Each structure stands twice: as C-alpha cells, then as structure tokens.
Amino acid sequence: MELTDFNVKERPQWCPGCGNFAIVAAIKGALQELGIPTHQTVISSGIGCSSKLPHYLGTYGFEGLHGRALPVASGIKLANHKLNVIAVGGDGDGYGIGAGHFVHIMRRNYDLVYIVHDNQIYGLTTGQASPTSQLGMKTRTTPYGVVEVPFNPIATAISGGATFVARVFAGDMAHTKEMMKQAIAHRGFALVDVFQPCVTFNKLNTYDYFTKRCYKLQNSGHDTASINAALEKAFEAFNTNYEKIPIGVFYKAERPTYEDLQPQLKEKALVEQDLSNLDISSAYADMM
Ligand code: SF4
Ligand code: MG
C-alpha cells in the first residue's frame, strides 16, 4: 500500500446523508494536503457512530471504550510524540461519558487534535438527548422537551486551556477541511467541534437549519487572540436563541505543550529509548 493512500476497502456503516461522510473526507483531504503519510498518523476513538471513523481511513487507528478516546490519544502521544495523533468521538461520547478527560487534557496542552462529531443527539443508540441537545428539543428520552441547559464545548475549551478552538459545519466541506488543516498544523491541543447532522434521529438540527444560521468568524473581524472576544462568540448561538451561529476559529494561543515540558522526551521519543538497563528496584521497594 502507498503511504499516501488513505482509502480502505471497508465501506462506512453510516446512514446515507450522515454528516460523518464529510468529516472523514475532510480529515483525509487535510492530511493529504499537509503531506502527512498514513503511517505517521494514529486516530483514536471512543464508541458511537462517529467512533467507527478509524476503520475508514488508511492510517493507524484504535477504537476503544466509550468516552476514552482522549486518554488513549494522550498515551500514544507520550509513547511517541513524533506521531500525528487525532482523537475523534461524538457529543455524547466526549462531552458526556468522557467529559472528565476532556476538561483535564486541555490543561496539559498535548499536541493533538480532538474532532467531535457534534450532532446534538445519541445516534448509535437511536435518538436520546445528548449533552448538547438544545433546550426544548424533543427526543426519545425527552418527549416533553430538554429542560437542561446545553453543554457549551467551545466556552469550556477556551476557558479550560485549549490553545486552538474551532467549530465547523459538515455541510461546508471546503471550510471543514481548512479548519482540520489548521488544527493539525497547530502545536498544542486543538478542538474542532463539528456540527454533523444526524439525518435519521435529529429532525431539528438539519443541513438546512445550519445553512441558514451559520456565519464565518473569519469574515466578521473576530480577534482570535482575545480570550474575552472568543468567550463572547462562544455564547452567541445560545444568546440569540440559535439565530446566529458562528463557525471558524474562536481562539488561538501559543503555550508549551505537555511533551515540551517533559525532560525525558527532549532528545528522543519514549519508544526510541533503550530501557533494557533501567533499574526500578528502588522505586519498587519504596512502594512496598
Ligand atoms: Fe449518522 Fe445519525 Fe445514522 Fe449515526 S444514526 S450514522 S449519526 S445519521
Ligand atoms: Mg451524538
């Protein structure tokens, strides 16, 4: 297989029209345009429709446990920080079950990308309300409408220490690919939250819904270096009752990565180091 051939034989097990198709195509296009060969990328995922993605790209991949895409990704990064590491998952997987990992990984600023297929519903389990379901949305578990305030991943990422925070709409392929490229090229933790229409179970947040409401921050004079401006934009959709929904880069900053701050990784990746003469008996004795 060519190291630039991202195609696999397995056919995606997604409903026709699902926004997931655009996401996998955007990741593939971004990796190809950045010239990153298949063997230098690892994609980890949790559980959900979105988390099948590692099967559909010719990179290395690991489909793990529900909500655990990020701890697996950080372990891969620490073992070999020279690899390009991408974690993927859904809104339920990442912002519900894996929320604790999401919050703490951003403080560490690993150099990895987290792509969240945010369809405001649990798709694989056939349509329950998720952490990002809008107020009042009727689902199988909320027949009278959601009463909880939705989780705000953009505001959480900006205030939580992520150094690249973006949102895209899967119906705009060119923009989605461009944001993926910027996120992968960024040094530090990058979140790309993707509005990904679940055409089967979410009849509210459709392609039409986002096409009418989304506008690009890059055309609005937004200052991506200002944390206050970024937070204001992060709440705009909620504050306008979803009439105006910004997409694009909300916030970008430079900070040393977790890997930069580990003296053990200065010269070589962990996997390149000779551990055969390592004596851990004194550390072991301390624990007894
Ligand atoms: Fe996509 Fe929804 Fe079908 Fe899952 S259930 S594959 S998210 S359309
Ligand atoms: Mg979901």
Does the CB atom of residue 192 touch ligand 1 within 6 A? no
Nearest atom in ligand 1 to 17's CA = 8
136-141 contacts at long range (C-beta below 8 A, 24 or more positions apart) = 137/204, 139/201
Does the CB atom of residue 8 touch ligand 1 within 6 A? no
Query: 278 pLDDT band (50/70/90 cuts)?
Result: confident
Q: Pick 288 or 101 by higher pLDDT.
A: 101
Q: How far is the CA of 132 from the centre of ligand 2 (A)?
A: 8
Is the per-residue pLDDT at 194 higher than 70? yes
Q: What is the pLDDT of residue 154?
A: 98
Does the CB atom of residue 158 touch ligand 1 within 6 A? no
Ion ligand 2 residue ranges (Cβ < 5 Å): 90-92, 119
Query: 97 pLDDT band (50/70/90 cuts)?
Result: very high
Is the per-residue pLDDT at 71 higher than 80? yes
Residue type, 97: I
What is the DSSP pairing of strand 164-169 with strand 190-195? parallel
Query: 2 pLDDT band (50/70/90 cuts)?
Result: low
Does the CB atom of residue 20 touch ligand 1 within 6 A? yes
> Whole-number mean pLDDT of the chain?
96
231-236 contacts at long range (C-beta below 8 A, 24 or more positions apart) = 231/155, 231/158, 231/159, 233/154, 234/152, 234/154, 234/155, 234/158, 235/152, 235/155
Q: What is the mean pLDDT of residues 245-253?
A: 98
Angstrom distance (rounded) from CA 168 to CA 70: 20
Is the per-residue pLDDT at 63 higher than 60? yes
Does the CB atom of residue 141 touch ligand 1 within 6 A? no
Is the per-residue pLDDT at 57 higher than 70? yes
Q: What is the pLDDT of residue 230?
A: 98
Residue with tokens 């929320």: 99
Q: What is the pLDDT of residue 66?
A: 96
Is the per-residue pLDDT at 3 higher than 80? no
Tokens, residue 165: 């925070």
Angstrom distance (rounded) from CA 26 to CA 128: 27
The reported pTM is 0.96
Query: 4 pLDDT band (50/70/90 cuts)?
Result: confident
Q: What is the mean pLDDT of residues 45-57?
A: 97
Angstrom distance (rounded) from CA 115 to CA 201: 21
Query: 53 pLDDT band (50/70/90 cuts)?
Result: very high
pLDDT tens track for 110-149: 999 999 999 999 999 999 999 999 999 999 999 999 999 9
Q: What is the pLDDT of residue 19?
A: 97
pLDDT tens track for 172-184: 999 999 999 999 9
Is the per-residue pLDDT at 202 higher than 70? yes
Query: 275 pLDDT band (50/70/90 cuts)?
Result: confident
